[in-house]
Amino acid sequence: MVRYVLKRLVWLIFTLWLICSLVFFLSKAVPGTCLDWQLGEFGQTINSTKITTGQSGNKPVIPLFYFSVHSRAVPDTLYRMQPEQHQQFFKNLILLSGNRAAVQAFYQTIINLQKSAAQLPNLTLSEKQQLRYQLELIFALADKTQLEQALLRIKNQVSTRSYPVSYREKVTLAQQQCQAIFKKKQILNVLMPAVTWYGFTNEYHIWFTNFIQGNLGTSCLNQDPVNEVIAEAFANTFVITVLSLGLIFILASELSIWLSNARRAKWKQTILSLLYALDSVPLFIVALILITLFASNSYFNIFPAFGSAPDSVPGVPAYLTWVYQLPYLALPVISLTLSGLPYVTGQTYQAIQQLLSREFVLVAKAKGLPEQLVLRRHVWRNALLTLITLFTGFLPVIITGAVIIENIFAIPGMGRLLYHTILARDFPVLIGIVLYLGLIKILAHVLADILYYLADPRIKVPA
């Protein structure tokens, strides 16, 4: 058993690394950086500082991975080009034509036009900004026709204003260079692969080193350590999840045993129908009904509707402040419990019904044991295996429900943090949340294996 648990822990570490690595690479595949998304919707908001400096936030100018497999036409130092939108523009043009020299010349001309726009005389500030905006839009294009049309609009604009002759000549040069890119194609360079080794100075190696040390980085949103951000939200989610899971499985077990008693046959159909009806009600509807009934002046204003208790209460020891949090967690816990109870009860009830026809149950009844004793001591113990399986499978459902509940009740927990993290594209925090949720899920599987063995020692686990 010990060897098996150790083997599962090794798989746990490997699985966590794999999941977090996938999230890391997916976060890098999303266009733009955290700063881009926070400034506005990517592709629609252009920051003037970024245009002037050519920088994109605090993005490190190092390669992404230890090596790269790319087209021979693409330079192996392309990662140094900032911002990222320029990098993608440069790469797209090279892959279309294969003529790196022509693309480089065209790109440099557009950059020079941008830099020169700020020093143009006889132009108002709004006219300069409009010109720079038109030039920056070029980097969002990769089609020959679109590029030619964009350059034609810029040429018409500089022709109708008091622009220096040298600036108009640069625009004409850009048009000629754009045509040269697509006239002098070198497709063979595009088709030939190349492998470049970058060494250990790369983003993934830095991230993985910090990952091993437990350092998940800092939040893009507020620059706080990721571990601290998650730790602040974890406490409330942990309490809500544990209380909800405990209530669901305790109530489901008791209700299933109660319904399986022959003396409760007249209530069976009514209660099962109510459970099926409750199972069809969405979680947010259950939460809103509870708020209306127990947290509004219309009916019973018993519990607070939103928020959480203060972190500290004057005159109360720190270890007792959690008592003040309980009223705020009551409705969220009840909502999750009511939402999950019908399914778990139905599965447990069906498992008990299948066991009632087994030989050991008939023997116990033949010995004259009371039905309640047979159900609790013999039937329910054998139904534990079903409950354990439900526990591991139901954990993600509870966590998903916590996302909804914490947003409805404005509770600062993991679910609410996950929601706002996705909206803000705060990828370091998102990777941290995935790590902790994956850890909880895998530990639940390991715990289930141990509980299987404790519930029935006859079950053998592979070494």
Residues 6+ apart with CB under 8 A from 144: 96, 178, 182
pLDDT of 45 > 60? The answer is no
Q: H or E element: which one contains 438?
A: helix 427-455
Tokens of 13: 């570490």
Q: At what angle do helices 144-159 and 165-183 cross, to 10 degrees?
A: 170
- Say what the pLDDT of residue 38 is: 56
- CA-CA distance, 50 to 71, in Å (whole number)? 28
Residues 6+ apart with CB under 8 A from 160: none
Average pLDDT over residues 345-353: 86
- Say what the pLDDT of residue 359 is: 80
- Say what the pLDDT of residue 49 is: 36
Cis peptide before 75 (omega within 30 of 0): no
Average pLDDT over residues 266-287: 86
pLDDT of 356 > 50? The answer is yes
Length of the chain: 463
Are 441 and 447 in contact by the 8 Å Cβ rule? The answer is no
**pLDDT greater at residue 232 or residue 53:** 232
User: Model-level pTM?
Assistant: 0.68
- CA-CA distance, 235 to 35, in Å (whole number)? 29
- Residue closest to 332 by CA, chosen among 230, 407, 440: 407
Phi, psi of 5 (to 5 degrees): -65, -40
Is residue 44 very low, low, confident or very high in pLDDT (cuts 50, 70, 90)? Answer: very low
Are 171 and 151 in contact by the 8 Å Cβ rule? The answer is yes
Percent of the chain with pLDDT over 90: 20
- Say what the pLDDT of residue 48 is: 37
Largest CA distance in the chain: 109
Angle (nearest 5°) at CA 406 between 405 and 408: 65
Per-residue CA distances from 125 to 119, 128, 131 (Å): 10, 5, 10
Angle (nearest 5°) at CA 372 between 369 and 375: 90
Sorted by where each begins, the domain ranges of the chain are: 72-193, 226-455
Is residue 334 very low, low, confident or very high in pLDDT (cuts 50, 70, 90)? Answer: very high
- Say what the pLDDT of residue 54 is: 41
Q: Per residue in 66-121, pLDDT tens?
A: 999 999 999 999 988 888 889 999 999 999 999 999 999 999 999 999 998 888 88
pLDDT of 183 > 80? The answer is yes
Per-residue CA distances from 237 to 138, 289, 342, 417, 435 (Å): 47, 22, 22, 10, 16
Q: How far is CA 139 from the centre of its chain?
A: 29
Is residue 460 very low, low, confident or very high in pLDDT (cuts 50, 70, 90)? Answer: low
- CA-CA distance, 355 to 135, in Å (whole number)? 74
Q: At what angle do helices 2-29 and 203-212 cross, to 10 degrees?
A: 150
Q: Per residue in 384-419, pLDDT tens?
A: 888 888 887 787 788 888 888 888 888 888 888 888
- Say what the pLDDT of residue 161 is: 63
pLDDT of 11 > 50? The answer is yes
Are 104 and 76 in contact by the 8 Å Cβ rule? The answer is no
Is residue 41 very low, low, confident or very high in pLDDT (cuts 50, 70, 90)? Answer: very low
- Say what the pLDDT of residue 112 is: 92
Average pLDDT over residues 234-263: 86
Identity at 176, one-letter amino acid code = Q
Weakest mean pLDDT among 267-271, 318-322, 427-431: 318-322
- CA-CA distance, 441 to 435, in Å (whole number)? 10
Q: What number of helices (H) and strands (E) belong to the chain?
A: 19, 2
- Say what the pLDDT of residue 39 is: 55
Q: H or E element: which one contains 6?
A: helix 2-29
Residue 425 gets which letter from DSSP?
T
Q: H or E element: which one contains 197?
A: strand 193-197
- 16-26 CB burial, b ≥16 within 10 A, e <16: beebbeebbee
CATH architecture classification, 226-455: Orthogonal Bundle (1.10)
Strands (E), 52-144: 67-71
Q: How much is the CA Rg of the chain, to the nearest whole Å?
A: 32
Q: Out of 106-115, 365-374, 409-418, 432-441, give the one with best mean pLDDT.
A: 106-115
Q: Which residue has the tokens 């979680």?
A: 283
Average pLDDT over residues 172-182: 93
Per-residue CA distances from 294 to 305, 306, 326, 375 (Å): 8, 12, 15, 36
pLDDT of 59 > 80? The answer is no
